[in-house]
Structure 1
Amino acid sequence: MDFGCSMTSEGQHALVSHEEVLAFIKSTFGELQGPNHCWLNNVDGGIKSFNQHGIFLVLVNATLDYSTSRSHHECIFPIERVKLLQQRYPKLNVFALQYGSSVNSIATHTELIQTIMEEYITYPVLISEKNFAMMTNGACYLLFEGSTNRLFHLKLDEELGTLAKAIEELSVLQKESAATIQSSNFDRTRQLEVIKEPHFCSFRNLLLYYPGCLSVDEDGNRIFISDSNHHRIIIADGDGKILDCIGSYPGFEDGEFGSAKLLRPAGSFYCTAENCLYFVDSENHAIRRADMEKRMLETVYPVCVQKNTGIWSWILDKLGLAREIAQKPKEYEPDFVAFPWHLMKIGEDDLLITNRSFETSWIISVATGEIKKVLRGIPNIMEIWEHTIMEKLSLPKEIYENWSPEEGLQHSFSLEGIPHAGLVSSIANLQNYTIFSDAAGQRVLKFHRESQCISCFQFSNLGVLGLPYWLVCPLERVCSSGYSGRSWSEHLHSFNVLPGRCNIQVYVDIPLGTELATPMEESCIWRQARGSAVELSGSGDGISTEKVGVAQQWFDELDNLAFSKPELEADIQDEEVPPGRGFQDKDKVHFDCAVSISPGTGEVVVSAVLYLKVKKTQDNGEEQKNIAERILDYQKHEDRISENACTELLFKTCRDMQYMIFMKPLHLRIRLECGDHPAAETNKETITTDSMININISLD
């Protein structure tokens, strides 16, 4: 077969090299780390989920850029192509190979982790000390079958259509069923059960996780921060008070702000006339519009259509519950929007969209969502839109004059004819300040134009953000969700109680060396009761005689029919239910959880989050590294090398961590064994008992 690629098997030596590299790759699937290899970014058990008899696509030596001659576009373009193929073929085995690197090198791990976060890489990366340069001849793609030694070498600049054709033809040769390599045709209507995210969970517990872009509403004194890797847009005022949040979970779904789903939002533009925020949804390859008055999110591109026209769809539409789905781009459509990042308003009704490297731009109509024009290449784009783009870049000049080289903005790279191109969508003026995001430093900064001082943005009212999606503990200890591979550190407690109301009060010690950045609020606590227990917290139902089990209610109703007699109206005093809000003492917080328990086994699952910051300490390098370790709060499944690399990365990109806010999760599982009701004079009487349980928890 001919893909415009080759096996480069001229001579016996090359053939042996192929066999060696395949044998080495297959030998690494059994363990995360060995004498000559190490796996990074093992998302959701990535290598264990490989179909070892299936088809593999490997990006070789293109994840780290060792060549200064390569442009920014040349560095990220192969990564984006692999991500597109990964989306198109969900069953394709994908990983990156970085050979010739020390598996114990902190510098290599640090660079790879930074690239994984910046480019949102969701496939594993294999680091190998063995050098396969003779076989691969530098960066390239490798395509091979797991069941044979058939391997194909593809150049790094191959077209996307050529790569897709190679995968499909190899699937035919392998006589695989359609289920093994099945094209999804970029179907945006199908929500995958698993939304993959980069594996380094420690960074996710920072308040901001790669805040890639921002925009402002000058008249309304509002800032819209694209908290990209948290898949949300945070709305704050000029003083840092958080007002609202768009997006609740990774995915692709329109709706109210609290239920809408995004996948790595980036550049945005606020339209004063419409009171709407337009922004790019990068990993969904979409343009979204947020109505700030109605608090509703909708999709501008791709154009949405109604899938069903039946009576039930009509009813849902009238109730405002109808769901729109995005049209699918045509197969290999060359002009479809892929990984948009920057967004600018042009004219009255058009948006200028570009990718991060400014190699492709799209002009999209706001009214119709259709692509009007596509330009490729920086010279062609700058020839037409130089004034629009350079106007956005007039702000960083005086900032860089007051910014120390050691604290340089990591994503402020320059491109041909575009200085500080990485800041195009990350900087804006608001009142007396120039606000800009330092994505790699996981923070937002402000530059006072009169005093020429740069300071870190201080956020407040964090309770608006509530409990993040990744901190909700699953009900089942073994679950099939996309986050089942996560390591949950749970506090387990068991108690024997009597039937009735059970008031649980939880006292949580604030970790040493930290303090609350905001008081614990009810929105930061999630409770779930099951089995013979039902939650009462905040329900306003204080009747402790409530029956829980369905069978128990049925027997009581049967009992009432058999022994019915006139009942006197009893004066029932409404019992006040503790509101369940968190309270703070000197070094601890506490919150309540009330449940009604009936005979049997019940369980109460609680997830909560504390927003913390580090207490002021001495400002020296060693202390800052200790602070970084405390903030990142490594999980048990992370290896020591990755821990050190993450610490080094945070220390490198954010020298002053005294003002950094981070989250400390709490996962509590309480098992309640409830005996029978105490004996009463008649079957109709039920004796209940109020119980009080105090639980002390340390998060250190």
Structure 2
Amino acid sequence: MSKRSLHLKKFSWLSSRILSDNAHGRFHRPSTPPAICLAPSLDRDLNIGSKTLVEQCLSRGFASVRRVSRASSSSPSSPYVDLLSYIRASLDKLEGPSHHWLNRDIENKQLFKDKGTYVVLAGNLLNGRTDPTEFFEKLKLLQQRSPGVCFMGIHFSDQARVTDDRTALAELIVNEYLTFPVLLSEKEFSKTSGEVRYIVFKDFKNPLIYEEKDLDIASVAKALDSLAQDIEKSKSVRIFTNTWSKQAEAIKESHFSSFFQDLLLYYPGCISADEVGDRLFLSDTNHHRIIMFENNGKISDSIGCFPGFEDGEFESAKMLRPTGTLYDEEEDCLYIVDSENHAIRRANITSRVLETVYPKVVKKSGGMWSWIMEKLGLGKDDDTTVDADAKLEEFDARSLLFPWHILKKRDDESLLVSNKSFSKLWMINLASGEIEEVVEGFSKIMEICGQSITEKLSVLKHIPSNWVQQQTETITSCKEQPSASVFSSFTNLGDNIFMTDIACQRVLKVNRESGSCSSIQFSNIGILGLPYWLFIPLERVFNLANGVQEAHLSHTQELRLLPGNISIRLNIEIPPCTEIVEPIQESCIWRQTRGAISEVSATGSAVEPPEKIGVSQQWYDELDSLAKEIANPEADEEEEEVDVNPSEIEREEDGRIHINCTVKTSPGTSELIVYAALYLRLARNEETESASQEELARRIAENLKPVRNITTMKEEIFVKLLAKSKRELRDIVFLKPMHVRIRLDSMDHPKAENSRDVILTDSSVEVDVSL
């Protein structure tokens, strides 16, 4: 009875406070709350999501929640209610009088709905007073946990600085790898445009306002659970308790990447070296791969094929924004910080296999059907699951979240892993795969690994000071020691220092004795194979949930020929004022035959397949073979097996690239599909020699103009970013995709004079392709 009386007193006191505050239009409390609850006026039900306002206040503690009443028709509207109306009005327009979407996916119909749960990061995202990485990481964690929720950011600008803010936001989207849309707004909302806040709401009603400072992610996650009860979450994300909480639908590419993605390097974040083997390991971070190359720039191997989380051979393994790396000479392995998977991976260089060190994973076996579904891209993103113990572990400060740097503890079998700013350090035991200790604060971290950090940073005296300044501005700076933020951005190898240049998307080499600095010119680029983002839905094994869009179709042609052997010669004309970096390799070509057609070598004889075949082609070959065995294991001779052999590639004086291949057709319809990745750069001639930096940047932008209609990024923004880099733009290597479809209609075989035998014919055809 006493407890009931106590609750009644609380409710009476709460009601009186609400009525009093509605009358005076304000709400007083001892201190600034982390959350503000905008509820409807008193003539309506006080529900917010699935909880009433009273339940919210009692569950959170009354002192932590503030109510701002909805304005009546006679009083000025609440600034947050006005902001929601503004967001809703801008959803169906990429640009308006006072707004501009920077990286909006125009094919994403989800943002055009009035119904749904939204999380908005709103405020001055470029104020310079706070590190934007911190609040973006919080939002990305929530995005990974709740893939069915719509996330977006809003930056408030004004007419005077809107142009500069647009360029600065473009850099921010690339550097932070933001996959949610960002809205640049010139409209001013009182009390909303200054400090950064998180706004959570459903159906554009009753927003919950969370202050960015000291935000408790768990409380926002609970609010999302109550608001988005209709969103089905997978088992791996129902409990926000483990460091890896991702499902396939949540792994999306940034919609700002159409220009940058086709550059050879896309945010080269970190680099390390194997001094004995005389090789380097470059984290091509936003391409989700590690590139191994020699000190002269010759690429020898690569690790990773697609954004995701999957162990396996280098060609099929998946990572999500790999950053710091550490080579272990004794084991001949490379430890990799898999940043946005919140994991540590280990690549065995000898066996060419990638495995997960942390968190501990358990292999699953789903049988043949699961294997088929996975190859079709309809299964889960990986064949591993987090250990059951890790799933039950509470989310706390010990969790490995967005790691960046890595080094090994001296005389110990432990890895020291830190975030970008060296504000948090995790000690991971290699034997157990568990976090032994978590250290917070730069001063405490320096007590543990200060000697290693200081020794490496001492090399910076040999590096141009402008590089250090530029990198510290691009990467999250360590407040106590700004140079520490570039700890993983350079490495020693022999007499040279190799360093990544994120702003210019390149790798530099500095000689310590002479001080000369040069940009690495990569060779043997074909070993990287055909990039994953070029495949269209019918030709690739990944589903559209992963964010890869349809590739551009360069050329289609229909032919009506007699059945038999057909020699097809593709004459590819590259864009004017460009040159191919190196002869195209077979690994950069992917092709498929459909219908009454099979492919044979140009000479008609068996040819040894290339040493490295693209993983997509391997999967299709395996899937085709398995499907035939299941359908009719005894009918080996009823259907011709597709024999994929290397095409003959030529380069003639006319500047065109020629790809020859021979196919064998039977009566009926068929199709030959050819993909090729051509790596180009601007030609060094009189025309480009006299061009300004901006003109060269515009030429590159013209060649990289998005043909996969997935972004609203303006061409001029990309031009500004390139011109701003102050590098030799004719050294930039970019990818130009080629996608050709040749449809064949083969007539019946000609009959011999005896009317019984058929006549086999040989035909040849040339197809001109202009990119």
1:331 is displaced (CA, Å) by 4.6
Within 2, Cα distance between the matches of 1:24 and 1:78?
23
1:600 is displaced (CA, Å) by 2.1
Within 2, Cα distance between the matches of 1:256 and 1:307?
17
2:721 to 641, 646, 649: 649
Within 2, Cα distance between the matches of 1:325 and 1:267?
24
1:681 is displaced (CA, Å) by 5.2
Is residue 520 from structure 1 mapped to residue 584 from structure 2 by the alignment? yes
Superposed CA deviations along residues 447-477 of structure 1, whole A, max 9, x for unmatched, are: 1111111110111111111211112344379
Name 2:8's counterpart in structure 1.
none
1:672 to 719, 726, 744: 744
Within 1, Cα distance between the matches of 2:547 and 2:268?
23
Aligned length: 654
Is residue 36 from structure 1 mapped to residue 103 from structure 2 by the alignment? no
SS in 2 for 1:455: strand
Within 1, Cα distance between the matches of 2:589 and 2:167?
34
Name 1:240's counterpart in structure 2.
297
Within 1, Cα distance between the matches of 2:603 and 2:87?
56
Is residue 52 from structure 1 mapped to residue 114 from structure 2 by the alignment? yes
SS in 1 for 2:248: coil
1:635 to 695, 699, 706: 706
Name 1:145's counterpart in structure 2.
202
Within 2, Cα distance between the matches of 1:428 and 1:392?
8
Superposed CA deviations along residues 513-549 of structure 1, whole A, max 9, x for unmatched, are: 2222111111111111112222334896679xxxxxx
Most deviating of 264-273 and 676-685: 676-685
SS in 2 for 1:389: helix
Structure with bigger helix share is 2
Is residue 353 from structure 1 mapped to residue 417 from structure 2 by the alignment? yes
1:437 to 500, 505, 519: 500
Name 1:369's counterpart in structure 2.
433
Q: Tell me, which stretches of 5 or more residues in structure 2 are unaligned?
A: 1-55, 371-381, 608-627
Q: Between the two proteins, what is the percent identity of the paired residues?
A: 38
Name 2:347's counterpart in structure 1.
290
Name 1:686's counterpart in structure 2.
758
Within 2, Cα distance between the matches of 1:602 and 1:266?
45
Within 1, Cα distance between the matches of 2:485 and 2:440?
18
Within 2, Cα distance between the matches of 1:107 and 1:230?
27
Name 2:123's counterpart in structure 1.
61
Name 1:488's counterpart in structure 2.
552
CA contact (8 A) 1:538 1:577 kept: no
**Letter of the aligned partner of 2:515 in structure 1?**
Q
- In structure 2, relative to structure 1, the CA distance for the partners of 1:418 and 1:7 (3 Å cut) is same
Name 1:167's counterpart in structure 2.
224
Is residue 26 from structure 1 mapped to residue 88 from structure 2 by the alignment? yes
Name 2:17's counterpart in structure 1.
none
Is residue 265 from structure 1 mapped to residue 322 from structure 2 by the alignment? yes
Superposed CA deviations along residues 287-339 of structure 1, whole A, max 9, x for unmatched, are: 000011111110000012244699999xxxxxxxx954333543524311111
Most deviating of 515-524 and 669-678: 669-678
CA contact (8 A) 1:136 1:153 kept: no
Is residue 534 from structure 1 mapped to residue 598 from structure 2 by the alignment? yes
**Letter of the aligned partner of 1:442 in structure 2?**
Q
Is residue 112 from structure 1 mapped to residue 183 from structure 2 by the alignment? no
1:419 is displaced (CA, Å) by 3.1
Is residue 155 from structure 1 mapped to residue 229 from structure 2 by the alignment? no
1:624 is displaced (CA, Å) by 2.0
**Letter of the aligned partner of 2:647 in structure 1?**
G
Name 1:456's counterpart in structure 2.
519
1:192 to 248, 255, 277: 248
Superposed CA deviations along residues 97-119 of structure 1, whole A, max 9, x for unmatched, are: 11234599442222111111111
**Letter of the aligned partner of 2:120 in structure 1?**
V
CA contact (8 A) 1:5 1:152 kept: no
Name 2:669's counterpart in structure 1.
601
Within 1, Cα distance between the matches of 2:742 and 2:547?
22
Name 1:317's counterpart in structure 2.
none
Cα RMSD between the aligned structures? 3.4
Most deviating of 213-222 and 488-497: 488-497
- In structure 2, relative to structure 1, the CA distance for the partners of 1:371 and 1:484 (3 Å cut) is closer
**Letter of the aligned partner of 1:581 in structure 2?**
E
- In structure 2, relative to structure 1, the CA distance for the partners of 1:299 and 1:179 (3 Å cut) is closer
Name 2:679's counterpart in structure 1.
611
1:343 to 406, 411, 418: 406
CA contact (8 A) 2:91 2:111 kept: no
TM-score norm. by structure 1 comes to 0.86
CA contact (8 A) 2:421 2:476 kept: no
Within 1, Cα distance between the matches of 2:496 and 2:193?
51
1:342 is displaced (CA, Å) by 0.5
- In structure 2, relative to structure 1, the CA distance for the partners of 1:641 and 1:260 (3 Å cut) is closer
Within 1, Cα distance between the matches of 2:322 and 2:539?
31
Within 2, Cα distance between the matches of 1:456 and 1:689?
53
1:580 to 640, 647, 652: 647
Within 1, Cα distance between the matches of 2:718 and 2:104?
15
1:403-442 mapped onto 2 (5 Å cutoff)? 403=466, 410-411=473-474, 414-442=477-505
Is residue 658 from structure 1 mapped to residue 722 from structure 2 by the alignment? no
Within 1, Cα distance between the matches of 2:116 and 2:181?
16
CA contact (8 A) 1:55 1:93 kept: yes
SS in 2 for 1:679: coil
1:228 is displaced (CA, Å) by 0.4
Superposed CA deviations along residues 397-419 of structure 1, whole A, max 9, x for unmatched, are: 22135x48997775366423323
Is residue 325 from structure 1 mapped to residue 408 from structure 2 by the alignment? no
CA contact (8 A) 2:564 2:760 kept: yes
CA contact (8 A) 2:147 2:249 kept: no
Within 2, Cα distance between the matches of 1:240 and 1:290?
21
**Letter of the aligned partner of 1:593 in structure 2?**
C
Name 2:157's counterpart in structure 1.
100
Most deviating of 205-214 and 151-160: 151-160
CA contact (8 A) 1:443 1:457 kept: yes
Name 1:129's counterpart in structure 2.
186
CA contact (8 A) 1:91 1:182 kept: no
Within 1, Cα distance between the matches of 2:253 and 2:383?
26
Superposed CA deviations along residues 113-167 of structure 1, whole A, max 9, x for unmatched, are: 1111111110011122211242465210011111x52111111021111111121
**Letter of the aligned partner of 2:505 in structure 1?**
Q
CA contact (8 A) 1:109 1:642 kept: no
**Letter of the aligned partner of 2:693 in structure 1?**
Q
CA contact (8 A) 2:534 2:551 kept: no
Most deviating of 241-250 and 474-483: 474-483
TM-score norm. by structure 2 comes to 0.78
Name 1:547's counterpart in structure 2.
none
Name 2:335's counterpart in structure 1.
278
CA contact (8 A) 1:266 1:281 kept: yes
Name 2:535's counterpart in structure 1.
472
1:490 is displaced (CA, Å) by 2.8
**Letter of the aligned partner of 2:91 in structure 1?**
F
Most deviating of 597-606 and 475-484: 475-484
**Letter of the aligned partner of 2:599 in structure 1?**
E
CA contact (8 A) 1:7 1:152 kept: no
CA contact (8 A) 2:266 2:287 kept: yes
Within 1, Cα distance between the matches of 2:159 and 2:252?
27
SS in 1 for 2:757: coil
- In structure 2, relative to structure 1, the CA distance for the partners of 1:509 and 1:152 (3 Å cut) is same
**Letter of the aligned partner of 1:523 in structure 2?**
S
Most deviating of 510-519 and 215-224: 510-519
